[in-house]
A and B are shown apart, each in its own frame.
Chain A
Amino acid sequence: MTRDQVRQAVLDIIIDIAPDEDFSAIKDEENLRDQFDLDSMDFLDIVMELRKRFNLEVPEKDYPELISMASSVEYLFPRLKDWKLAS
């Protein structure tokens, strides 16, 4: 996956977990929790979806890496770059 695809993958996940939210104005550098009121239940879902979709385990000590869109891409890109998206 490219960086853009990783970003899109994260966006797809948060769109799925918060279907009532409008993410079109998302600011990549800003804290997701504050922008969209995501709570610990939502972060659990992001982690669970990463496991389900990409077979990727995010250990609890790494949860802070998912704080913003930019930091998530930073953290996930090296771990997902070899992942082939089904076309």
Chain B
Amino acid sequence: MRYDALIIGAGLSGLAAGIRLAMFDKKVLIVEKHVEIGGLNSFYTRKHRTFDVGLHAMTNYTPKGTRSSPLGKLLKQLRFRHEEFRLCQQVMSEIRFPEKALRFTNDFGFLEQEVAEQFPREADGFQKLVAHIRAFDELNLDDTEKISSRKILEHYLSDPLLIDMLYCPTMYYGNAREGDMDFYQFVIMFKSIFMEGFAKPVGGMPYILNLMLDKYQTLGGEIRMGCGVQSIASKDGELQAVHLADGATVQADKVISSAGYVETMRLCDSCGEDEKPDRVGQISFMESLFVLDREPKELGFDKSIIFFSTRPQFHYRVPDTLIDVTSGVFCCPNNFEYPEPLAEGMLRLTNMASFKMWDGLVRKDYRAAKKEQGRRAVEALLAFFPDFRDHVIYEDAFTPKTIHKYTGHLNGAVYGSPEKAKDGLTPVKNLFICGTDQGFLGIIGATLSGISMANRHVLQAEPNLENGRS
């Protein structure tokens, strides 16, 4: 069987790439290893409850009619109406550190005001930083210059507390690097969180994913679930064939992989590139989910999302313990402007976690550790937040090990490799990378990544683009 394109992975980037290609009558096949679609942003069912895996909020919220924003572009390119995403905006979010809190909404002016009030001496520097961010073209795929965001933040701001408070949400929601963050990535996250904003779709991720899958299939796209790509055969840097886990061989003119850069290279039998250890992602999280017997706001939780650090200094790095309870993200899914309240109250807590530590536990210890770490994480919160433990009617947790198991990302690295392949090229001609390791991540980012890679490497492919990395 011969396809114009084969796509590895039915996560957001793979589905988006698939829609673009099927829309223009390309013969496309998506191959997904797992039995569910969604990848890092999937869902699972326990005790009749469906839980989103990767959704606190969709970043990049812009209202209908904003055409040039990432969300506006995505909707146009996939031909969805704004209403079809059924997005409900956040109420208000917060960055909470021991001595200061900054609140923000989907109106950027609110945060500017907060910074001016909380950090009067930084107000001017903050405005200059914002001007720099506004003028920066973070979506340029051909700009490969590496700039440290820390240097730039330190240039404009002198209070390390404000710098750490800005890093807490931007790093938690999209940084694959420990300690520092590439400036373009910081700009992407800053715009998507603060200048655009948060929203959640009615029906959660299953709704959005099915909307995309339906469109893909209606356009004639094919999909194979529960059957991964086993290997990619190439000869002298030329793509030959793709072998699937069930023994089938598929021929395709182009292959776009969302499995990750190193992960994809490992599928190639002779790709002519030695693996660079620093390309392997490390950053992963543990997430604890608490179903409550009432709405979070009845217990004093009135924000949509809270990014917190219990210490004045925020460290974004893989802990040398199972999890780092000193910072995290606390999400109240109920606190979004839904037309109807959600059926149950819920809280979600995310902490940085070490894949290596979790992976080292035997099964029995692993289960006990999940409980124990969840308990520690909640205790660390009590310094800041009301105690909700008596109102928990069900709880569950997932760890870096879970993420690795269901998405194949090495180390369960949620944001993939710190080195991104922005142009999507690999050493193998006609094999391209999309999604997390191309450099746009998060729900909207990954979707845009799939779109831009499908456009660039298949729809408008010009001979000089197809030559791979030289």
Residues of A within 8 A of B (CB): 16-21, 36-37, 39, 41-42, 44-45, 48, 51-52
Please determine whether A18 and B460 come into contact, CB atoms closer than 8 angstroms: no
Least Cβ distance of B25 to chain A in Å?
6
Main SS class of interface, A: helix
Please determine whether A52 and B25 come into contact, CB atoms closer than 8 angstroms: yes
**Residue ID in chain A nearest B65 by CB atoms:** A20
Least Cβ distance of B227 to chain A in Å?
30
Residues of chain A within 8 A of B469, CB atoms compared? none
18 A-B pairs whose Cβ atoms sit less than 8 Å apart in the complex = A16-B79, A17-B76, A18-B67, A18-B76, A19-B80, A19-B81, A20-B65, A20-B67, A20-B76, A36-B67, A37-B67, A41-B73, A41-B455, A42-B76, A44-B455, A44-B459, A45-B76, A51-B24
**Residue ID in chain B nearest A39 by CB atoms:** B68
Residues of chain A within 8 A of B123, CB atoms compared? none
Interface centre among A16, A17, A44 (most CB of B within 10 A): A44
Residue B326 is within 8 A (CB to CB) of chain A in the complex: no
Partner of B24, one of A39, A42, A52: A52
Interface centre among A17, A39, A45 (most CB of B within 10 A): A45
Least Cβ distance of B23 to chain A in Å?
8
Q: How many residues of B contact A (CB 8 A)?
A: 19
Residues of chain B within 8 A of A51, CB atoms compared? 24
A77 to B65, CA, bound (A): 31
A51 to B460, CA, bound (A): 12
Q: Mark B154-170, 1 if CB is under 8 A from A, else 0.
A: 00000000000000000
Residues of chain A within 8 A of B25, CB atoms compared? 52
A27 to B275, CA, bound (A): 55
Residues of chain A within 8 A of B76, CB atoms compared? 17-20, 41-42, 45
Partner of B75, one of A20, A36, A39: A20
Residues of chain B within 8 A of A36, CB atoms compared? 67
**Residue ID in chain A nearest B75 by CB atoms:** A20
Please determine whether A44 and B80 come into contact, CB atoms closer than 8 angstroms: no
Of all A-B residue pairs in the complex, the 8 with the closest CB atoms, nearest first, are A37-B67, A48-B24, A19-B81, A18-B76, A20-B82, A37-B68, A20-B81, A20-B64
A20 to B65, CA, bound (A): 7
Among residues 72 to 88 in chain B, which have CB atoms less than 8 Å away from a CB atom of chain A?
A: 72-73, 75-77, 79-82
Residues of chain A within 8 A of B72, CB atoms compared? 20
Residues of chain A within 8 A of B65, CB atoms compared? 20
Residues of chain A within 8 A of B73, CB atoms compared? 39, 41
Given contacts A21-B67, A44-B455, A44-B459, 8 further A-B contacts (CB under 8 A): A19-B76, A19-B79, A36-B67, A37-B68, A39-B68, A41-B455, A51-B24, A52-B24
Residues of chain B within 8 A of A42, CB atoms compared? 76
Interface centre among B24, B76, B81, B455 (most CB of A within 10 A): B76
Least Cβ distance of B29 to chain A in Å?
20
Least Cβ distance of B262 to chain A in Å?
29
A36 to B65, CA, bound (A): 10
**Residue ID in chain B nearest A45 by CB atoms:** B77
A49 to B418, CA, bound (A): 37
A36 to B67, CA, bound (A): 8
Residues of chain B within 8 A of A20, CB atoms compared? 64-65, 67, 72, 75-76, 81-82
A39 to B67, CA, bound (A): 9
A21 to B64, CA, bound (A): 9
**Residue ID in chain A nearest B451 by CB atoms:** A41
A51 to B77, CA, bound (A): 17
A19 to B85, CA, bound (A): 13
**Residue ID in chain A nearest B448 by CB atoms:** A41
A65 to B287, CA, bound (A): 53
Residues of chain A within 8 A of B77, CB atoms compared? 41, 45
Residues of chain B within 8 A of A37, CB atoms compared? 67-68
**Residue ID in chain B nearest A18 by CB atoms:** B76
**Residue ID in chain B nearest A22 by CB atoms:** B65
Residues of chain B within 8 A of A16, CB atoms compared? 79
